[in-house]
């Protein structure tokens, strides 16, 4: 079935370093969404990308959607301790379901 692979599984960074997580789908997606889940919390929506090659920015966060609409990335510039959490991508299948990636857990050392 459809799968969304996400890497890395976890990453440790020093505060101020950059961080990137990648998602790759086995099939073309209608859209991709990104969520952040703080430890003990629930997933919170960050952004949705719909167009091929789309790039969106939110302050220090940059989101990209690949030309083939099969892959996506989230890049955080100059991480801060408040960035700690797990980042999930979720691929829209064109229907009403989304398929979540495994998540990348980010640890930031002050």
Partner 1 sequence: SAVISQKPSRDICQRGTSLTIQCQVDSQVTMMFWYRQQPGQSLTLIATANQGSEATYESGFVIDKFPISRPNLTFSTLTVSNMSPEDSSIYLCSTDRGNTEAFFGQGTRLTVV
Q: Closest distance between partner 1 and the C-beta of residue 22, in Å? A: 15
Classify burial at 46, counting beta carbons within 10 Å of its beta carbon; exposed 0-12, middle 13-18, buried 19 or more.
middle
| Candidate residues 48, 62, 75, 107; the one interacting with partner 1 per rule CB under 8 A | 48
How many other β-carbons are positioned within 10 Å of the β-carbon of residue 48?
15
| Candidate residues 22, 32, 43, 73; the one interacting with partner 1 per rule CB under 8 A | 43
Place of tokens 């969106």: 56
Q: Does position 66 bind partner 1 by CB under 8 A?
A: no
Do 88 and 38 contact (CB within 8 A), yes or no?
no
Residues that bind partner 1 (CB under 8 A): 1, 30-31, 33, 35, 41-45, 48, 88, 90, 92, 95-98, 100-103, 105
């Amino acid at each position: 079935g459809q799968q969304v692979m996400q890497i890395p599984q976890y990453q440790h960074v020093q505060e101020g370093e950059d961080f990137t997580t990648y998602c790759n789908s086995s099939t073309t997606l209608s859209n991709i969404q990104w969520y952040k889940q703080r430890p003990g919390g629930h997933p919170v929506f960050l952004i949705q990308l719909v167009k091929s090659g789309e790039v969106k920015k939110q302050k220090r966060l940059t989101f990209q959607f690949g030309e083939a609409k099969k892959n996506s990335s989230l890049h955080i510039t100059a991480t801060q301790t408040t960035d700690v959490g797990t980042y999930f991508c979720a691929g829209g299948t064109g229907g009403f379901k989304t398929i979540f990636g495994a998540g990348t857990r980010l640890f930031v050392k002050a």
